[in-house]
Amino acid sequence: MTAIRPLVAGNWKMNGLGSALAELVTLRQVLAEKPVPEADVMVCPPATLLTRAAEVLEGSNIALGAQDCHPLPSGPHTGDVSAEMLADAGATAVIVGHSERRLDHGESDALVNAKARAAYRADLTAIICIGETQAQHQDGGTLDVLKRQVQGSVPEEARAMNTIIAYEPVWAIGSGLTPTPADVARLQGAIRENLRQLLGETEGRAMRILYGGSVKPANAAELLFVPNVNGALVGGASLKGLDFYEILSAYRDPEAT
């Protein structure tokens, strides 16, 4: 079996005015000087910056993603943005089901599933987020939550080439807390098993599963080489081009100049 190519994706959340594009310029420059051919890289700025970010990143190997989409292609949904619009603005991927959307906007697994299918319809890769809350973590219900979220949020037509899973324990997001590498291995392994059951051996084995939640330059090396961790979804530390590069460079061959 060929190894899964890792991805480090940055989720800017509701951060970033036009001036933040300078961070993308920095990222692009440092990657040109010290490439990391071992991994893919993506940034997901707010929708308002997509078109301008696409211009900054044009011709680079930094992919552009968005943070959410509506399930429908167009219509009377004030304030919403469709997957087709994101693709039109230059995105090639979209995050769906981030815990902040599940919690702030009451998004269900069924809605997340519909949003992932909208992504496929627009030829976008769906980055489907799952993860247990603090209370579920304390109750020992994590494995059940993850299984339910995979079954509910991941469409049956999901394929490794159009879908990425991001496991993000809600209690680890923005808190500076992370699970131990052993727990990350156990939970990502369980997600892998759930994917194999849902999608079959080939797709279940090949699909990327990212870890997210307080990934920083200081802990990247210990989290990114855990079995079944195929990269990271990075929030706060993705806002600075150099910090984000430092996380990505955990994959860099130490012999490279």
Kindly list the catalytic residues: 98, 168
148 phi, psi to nearest 5 deg: -65, -40
Q: Which is nearer to ligand PGA, 84 or 100 (CB)?
A: 100
Footprint of ligand PGA on 179-238 (CB under 6 A): 212-215, 233-237
How far is residue 10's CA from residue 239's CA, in Å, rounded to a whole number? 8
User: Toward ligand PGA, which CB reaches closer, 122 or 215?
Assistant: 215
CA distances to 64, 166, 178, 229 from 94, rounded to whole Å, are 9, 12, 24, 20
Please say which residue, 127 or 195, places its beta carbon nearer to ligand PGA. Answer: 127
CA torsion 173-97-82-106 (nearest 10°) is: -100
Per-residue binder mask for ligand PGA (CB under 6 A), 130-169, x = binder? --------------------------------------x-
Structural tokens at position 222: 């210990």
| Among positions 6, 11, 68, 154, the unique one binding ligand PGA when judged by CB under 6 A | 11
Q: What is the DSSP letter of 6?
A: P
For residue 97, the minimal CB distance to ligand PGA (Å) is: 11
Q: At what angle do helices 181-199 and 142-153 cross, to 10 degrees?
A: 40
Comparison of 231 and 235: residue with beta carbon closer to ligand PGA: 235
Question: What are the residues binding ligand PGA (CB under 6 A)?
Answer: 11, 168, 173-174, 212-215, 233-237
